[in-house]
Amino acid sequence: MIEESVFKRAIAQDPRAWEELLAAYGSLIYGTAIRVGCGPDDAADVSQKVWVSLFEGIGSIRESQALPRWLAVTTKRIAVHHLTSQRRHYGDEIVDEHMSSDPSVEELLAAEDEAARVRKAIEQLPEQCRQLLPALFENEKVEYHQVSQALGVPVGSIGPTRARCLAKLAKILAKKDA
């Protein structure tokens, strides 16, 4: 969840607030579109439409706590419309089982809250870990040699450093749970 001040700044069209919204909720929007049945390109299109809808209608949302639910519902609506339009255009069928197996909005919000909690914990890690962990986990197909080149560290040090960083992250998260 974002702070109320960020939400109010976004209503006032502050670009930095919008960057914070994108960072906080981009994965919720994209992930919801994917779960509805969109492929990666369609999910990106749906995401753009959701951000435009939010920009146009953010003033109608009364408080920041309502924003994640609004985004999830709006994303589902836009994704279904997008897929339905494609079906009419291309003659493809939407697989209904995709829609019935979607996680609930509450599950999506819980996952987004957990992701935010992990992001905050990562901010407390040493610089090396703050660089390494996102480099390894934001793209599931990344290889160690790519991370080595991007961060300027030896390939052989990535695994042990990763293990130490994850141990530190686990301790931070455990303290927050206690």
Closest by CA to 90, choosing from 33, 32, 42, 36, is 42
Please tell me whether the overall predicted TM-score, pTM, comes out greater than 0.85 for this model. no
Q: Is the pLDDT of residue 149 over 90?
A: no
Q: Are residues 109 and 163 in the same domain?
A: no
Q: Are residues 34 and 72 in the same domain?
A: yes
End-of-domain residue from the set 60, 83, 115? 115
State the total domains in the chain. Answer: 2
The per-residue pLDDT of the chain, averaged, comes to: 84
Segments forming the whole domain that contains residue 10: 1-115
Q: How far is CA 99 from CA 35, 93, 95, 110, in A?
A: 8, 13, 7, 19
- For residue range 159-174, what is the model confidence (pLDDT) as tens digits? 999 999 999 999 998 8
Q: Are residues 139 and 104 in the same domain?
A: no
Q: Are residues 57 and 138 in the same domain?
A: no
Q: Considering Cα of 4, then 9, then 15, then 16, what sign does the dihedral take? A: negative
